[in-house]
Structure formats: structure tokens, C-alpha cells
Structure 1
Amino acid sequence: MSTSFIPPEWGQSLAETIFPDVQTTMNLFGIHLRTVSTDWQYPIHDHPQYEINYVLQGQQLMTVGSQSYVQQEGDLMILSPGTSHSSRTIDGQSFTYFCIHFDIDDRLFLSLLERLNQVIFRQSSAVAQALRPHLLKIAQPIDHTDEHIITRRMRLQAAVFELFGVLWEAISNEAAGLAPASYAHVEMAHQIAARLQGIANRNIVQLEATSDSHYGIDDIAAELGISPSHCNRIFHQVFAISPRSYLSNLVLHKSKLLLSDQRMSIQDIASILGYRDIAHFSRQFKRWSGISPSHYRKNQMVMPSECKA
């Protein structure tokens, strides 16, 4: 059962560094390393995930929509979900490629990928060169017969997350040069989100407020040198929700983590989250989730036995 970190009382810490919370879900599909025959071809298809396609040896003809690309050794392609594409050999020559299909729920990461106007990154590009060692690391066949399947899966996930970190940095640099205004908005939204996360981590909640100014939006906007309305507009463009809703989601997530710890009373949890009393917390939690804190906790206790049945 999950628990949440409970910070010490104010003034007890001599030094402290708060790292960002990680609440990312990643799904990996159809990862494969394949060497194909001289007359190989894959018909037109599409899928609901992103695809990273990397040629390790030889060359392939990749057709994306109505555009064809000769993808040579070291060239990288990033295909968006729903994009029709097909592949075949060129001049009867075999080739080897590596492919990853993925989806991820990180809105900031997805917003950057969605802004990509580029499908292929040539071997000489900064993006392809930055990703090459990480792709080769994942694609390298290794004898894992002595490892448990869970260990292999965790190693793969760790390697792919590392790849995504490099991908984010490399594409960010590309995007900054191709569309500076759009990229600046993404970066600004990220800074706003980080400050909202800081508000949630400090347990400062004023959830009876009727305007975003009570949530710290005015202060955040002043720190960033923009107006509150511009702050709200940029954030909504990137995350598709208001800063107020984003903060509410953070506090709801934190509430659920604390409620999962049966050692803590609901009164204690309300105090930790900054509510003036348990009734205030209960009303807000029910407004967000549709059920009371006690009902949620009861369901958490029942679920393990139901799963065993």
C-alpha cells in the first residue's frame, strides 16, 4: 500500500532540496531489432502510439503519408500516432533497423513532440547523434537468461526513460531554433507547473478561493514577469487545463496517497494538507472525486482482498 512523504515541521530542517514529483506512466509496445530479407516490405499501416525507427545497417525506403524517405544508416525517424507509413528494401539490399512504439502521459513531453514538423533526422543531425548511443545500448542483444523477467523489464524501462531524457533535451534545442515563440510558451508553462507543484508540496492550500489569485497565480505571474491572464492562457495552451485545476489534481493525488496509509487519521491528513478542519477537507475531496475520504479509504482496504478472490 502506497504512502506519502510527510515533511518535518517548519524550522527543523538544516538544509533541504525538493526534487520534482514523478507521476509518469509509460507504455512500450513492439520493441524489436530486425534484419530483413532482400525483398522485404511492410504494407501501409498506422498505430495509436509514437514510433521511433532507427536504421543500424543498410538503408530502407520509408513512405510516410505521400512522402517517401530514403532512411540510411544512422538516420532516425519519429512518427506521430495515426500516421500512415510503409517500408521496403531498396535495390534488393538487406538492412537492419530498430523500432520502439510508445505512449506516455507526460503532457509537457507530448506537447513538444506534437510541435515537431520534422519526420526524419539525418545521421549528421544533433538529435540523431545525441540519441545514437542510447538506441544502440537498448538495441544491443544481451544474454539475459540468468535474469528474472521483472529485472529485464525494469532495466528496459530505465534505459528508455534515459533515452527520453536525451530526446527531450535534443528536440528542445531543435524546437528552440525552429519555433522560438512556441517553445518559449512550453518552457513558461513548465515553470508555472513547477511552482504549482511547490505550492502543493508546501501544503499551502486555500481551496475555498473563487479565483486563481488565491492559489498563487498572481505571485507566480509576477515572478515570471507576465500578467495573471497571460499566465493562465499559456498554461492552458500547453496542459489543456487551468492552473487551478492542475493544482487541484496535485492535491487530490497527494490526498489519496495519504489516505492509503491506514496509520494516519483523516483529521491528521486534513491538517497536513493545510485544511482548517476535517469537514473542509471532506467537502473538497468529495467535490473532486465524487466520494468522501472515508469511503475512498474503505475502498482501498477492500480492493486487495477482492484482487485475491
Structure 2
Amino acid sequence: MSEMIADMVEIGRLPDVRMSFHLMGLHVRDVGPSWTYPSHEHPMYELHWVIEGDMKMMIEGQIYDQKKGDLLFIRPGIIHSCKSAGSRGFTYFCIHFSVADPAFSKELERRQATCYESSSPLVKELAPFLTELCNFATENKNRSLSAAKSMKMYAAVFELLGTFVEQLSQTDNFVLTKKELLASRIAENIGSSIRSSLLHGQVEDNERKFVQDIAESLNLSPSQVNRVFQQVYGKAPRKYMSEILLSEAQRLLLQTDLSIDHIAMILGYKTSAHFSRQFKRWIGIAPSVYRGTAEMDEGPPLIPPSPQKSR
């Protein structure tokens, strides 16, 4: 046995990957000149691509004029509304998604809402993937996807998001500050903490003390951890943790036949009642309602708009 090991030369290896990914509301729509969508927010990233026509998107008081081919990126929790801007309406393609991955989140969280023109290098690189997904959505409208088609759709989405992040890095030419590097380490620690909690079923206990544990591991105070993370990611560490848990809960509800009691246990909640209360605080509906709506619609339900924040 020792001779076999000594004679073995490893010439390639990728790291273990465990990513919680949630894709929701991928759709293509044609709307009229009087169409509007009221102010709302959601706990997911959004890519909004205008295929034909003109529209106006208001994001936290700032107006973005989107024309044919322009792409708009919106972060979670950002209040926004939109309406037609032309006399003939417009056609758009929209993707809502969440990815519980520290490296990916780091790239996106440092950027505010941004509109990229159709002539920009970023949109030119993304256009083939956006077009492929538009065609996929159109061809499979109101159809239940087979396992093979679902995987092909995910592959196209990951190609899109991978290219998006790559282009953002090249276009914006960011150099991480010490504060951003520290926030990234905090995010990585949160991810590790959640993976450990899911493995050992201790989310409730961990939720109360994970900031303190991360602070100790980085030789910081809990207040420093909260302040640095808030400044870079735009949210508290506890909220970031809750978003990852929400994404995992939604995935389990939509992609498995596990009972809600079993899902609550996997997520580390001591009772399904506590998990149900927490899930309802997150998105306004109980997990049973969320799953039931998905089953009736044969697809993930849209999260109802949250009340508008005071500004």
C-alpha cells in the first residue's frame, strides 16, 4: 500500500465545492406603453436586460434610462420601480438569483446598482448568454423542465454569471483595500460557520454567538466585525447569514421532497415551528405556503414585495 502511494503523482485537483444557488423569476416579457411596476425590494440579485424599446428604472431615487441592449444590475434589498419610457412599450429579460458563495458575493456586494450600455465590453461579452437564456425561456414557457433541461439551464446561467463577474473585475479594475480584504475574510468565516452548523445542526445556538467567534478568530471585537462588514457589504453579518440560510431553505423546499420538520432539523432549528416563524419573517409567507405555491405554478414563487423602507 505504501509503495502504491509513493508511486502516485497527482497532476491535477480542484477544491471541494458546495454552493447554495437559487434561481427565481427568470422570464421574458413584452409590456405596453402604460406599464409600470411599483416600488419593491427582494433578497436577491437582479439582472434586467432590455431587448426592445425604452424603459425607466428608479433605484433608491436615482433614475436609469435603459435602452435596447442595456443591462442593469441591482443588489438585494434595494428599493426599485420601473415603467415604460416609449410610445410602444418594451420587451425585457429578467433574472433573480442568489448565490451563497463568499468569493462571488464579494465581487457583487462592492458594486452599487449600475446600468451598462449595450456598446460596453461587459454587455457584448454577456449578450450571447443572455440571448441563449431568453430563447430557452421562450421555448419552454409554462413547461415543466426535465432533469436534462434544468441542468442545461443552470449551465447557461453559471456561464452568464461567471462571465459577468470576470468582466466586472476587468472593467472596474478594483484593488481591494485592507478593509475589503478583512470583510472578505469575515464572509468566508460566516460561510464556514454555516457549513459547520448545517453539518452539526446547531444554527440556533450558532446564530447567537457566531459574530463573537469570528471576532475572536480574527483578533477583532464584535463591534469591529459588524462595522467593517456593514461598510463593505452594505449589511450586517447576521443579515448576510440569514440570507444564506434563506437560500438554503428555499432550495430544500423547492428541490426536495423532505418534510418541513426534516428541513428544519437540517437547518439546525430545534423545532419546525421556530423554523416556520423565521422563514415567515424572512419573506412574509410560511414555508408550507411557499412550497405549495411553487407546486401549483410548477415553478418557484415570486417573493412578495416588502414594505417600502423609510428614507
| Band the TM-score falls in, shorter-chain normalisation | 0.5 to 0.7
Provide the residue aligned with 2:111 in structure 1. Answer: 116
- Report deviation, 1:9: 6.0
User: What amino acid is aligned across from residue 150 of structure 1 in structure 2?
Assistant: A
CA change 1:148–1:92 in 2 (3 A) is closer
**Which runs of 5 or more residues in structure 2 are unaligned?**
190-217, 238-267, 269-311
Provide the residue aligned with 1:73 in structure 2. Answer: 68
CA change 1:143–1:63 in 2 (3 A) is closer
For residues 74 and 116 of structure 1, the distance between their equivalents in structure 2, rounded to whole angstroms, comes to 21
Provide the residue aligned with 2:8 in structure 1. Answer: 13
Provide the residue aligned with 1:282 in structure 2. Answer: none
In the TM superposition, 1:1-309 aligns within 5 A as 10-141=5-136, 143=139, 149-177=146-174, 179=175, 181=177, 185=181
CA change 1:44–1:184 in 2 (3 A) is closer
Q: Output one character per residue of 1:100-124: Cα deviation in whole Å (capped at 9) or x when no partner.
A: 0000111111011110135211112
Contact 1:176 1:183 in 2 (8 A): no
Secondary structure at 2:173's aligned position in 1?
Answer: helix
- Report deviation, 1:182: 6.6
Q: Larger C-alpha radius of gyration, 1 or 2? A: 1
Contact 2:75 2:113 in 1 (8 A): no
For residues 9 and 183 of structure 1, the distance between their equivalents in structure 2, rounded to whole angstroms, comes to 47
Provide the residue aligned with 2:243 in structure 1. Answer: none
For residues 147 and 46 of structure 1, the distance between their equivalents in structure 2, rounded to whole angstroms, comes to 28
Secondary structure at 1:87's aligned position in 2?
Answer: strand
User: What amino acid is aligned across from residue 129 of structure 2 in structure 1?
Assistant: H
Identity of aligned residues (%): 31
For residues 162 and 183 of structure 1, the distance between their equivalents in structure 2, rounded to whole angstroms, comes to 30
CA change 1:183–1:164 in 2 (3 A) is farther
- Report deviation, 1:127: 1.8
What is the RMSD of the two structures over their aligned residues, measured on CA atoms?
3.8
Secondary structure at 1:158's aligned position in 2?
Answer: helix
- Report deviation, 1:82: 0.9
Contact 2:39 2:80 in 1 (8 A): yes
Q: Output one character per residue of 1:83-116: Cα deviation in whole Å (capped at 9) or x when no partner.
A: 1111111142211110000001111110111101
CA change 1:135–1:58 in 2 (3 A) is same
Q: Which moved more, 1:41-50 or 1:139-148?
A: 139-148
Contact 2:42 2:76 in 1 (8 A): yes
Give the length in aligned residue pairs.
Answer: 197
Secondary structure at 1:51's aligned position in 2?
Answer: strand
- Report deviation, 1:160: 0.7
CA change 1:19–1:80 in 2 (3 A) is same
- Report deviation, 1:10: 3.5
Q: Output one character per residue of 1:157-216: Cα deviation in whole Å (capped at 9) or x when no partner.
A: 111111111012111113425x55479949x96xx99xxxxxxxxxxxxxxxxxxxxxxx
CA change 1:47–1:86 in 2 (3 A) is same
Secondary structure at 1:18's aligned position in 2?
Answer: coil
Q: Output one character per residue of 1:264-306: Cα deviation in whole Å (capped at 9) or x when no partner.
A: xxxxxxxxxxxxxxxxxxxxxxxxx9xxxxxxxxxxxxxxxxx
- Report deviation, 1:151: 2.1
For residues 124 and 165 of structure 1, the distance between their equivalents in structure 2, rounded to whole angstroms, comes to 20
- Report deviation, 1:143: 3.9
CA change 1:15–1:152 in 2 (3 A) is same
Report the TM-score when normalising by structure 2.
0.54
Secondary structure at 1:19's aligned position in 2?
Answer: coil
Provide the residue aligned with 2:292 in structure 1. Answer: none
Secondary structure at 1:30's aligned position in 2?
Answer: strand
Secondary structure at 1:73's aligned position in 2?
Answer: coil
User: What amino acid is aligned across from residue 10 of structure 1 in structure 2?
Assistant: I
